[in-house]
Structure 1
Amino acid sequence: MELLKIIAAIILPPVGVFLQVGIGKHFWLNILLTILGYIPGIVHAIWVIAKNK
């Protein structure tokens, strides 16, 4: 399941965060980061997934 979350985080970063923590502050922060730049959104999504194992 973790592999699917990481793949989702690379393709659509907010989806990966949503699958890990649901709708909350990290989800909204990731949407903002993804809008500002795709790479920061990916980095944040992978960080959230790795941190919340």
Structure 2
Amino acid sequence: MFYYEVLCYNCKKTFKVYEGSQKYKQAKENNIKVFCCEDCDHRIRMEAIKNFF
């Protein structure tokens, strides 16, 4: 299975994006240079939900 190793802009850890995902497509096409790992993505989403209500 193919993957790219990209850097999370929030926690600065390297993580893998696997073929077939939207992040993989964006990394391959170099549309977006900054990525967020699943843990940070979930944390940011939960914080936004808490602040909304």
Bin for the TM-score computed over the shorter chain: 0.3 to 0.5
Q: Please identify which structure carries the higher helix content.
A: 1
- The TM-score with structure 2 as length reference comes to 0.36
* Larger-Rg structure: 2
- The TM-score with structure 1 as length reference comes to 0.36
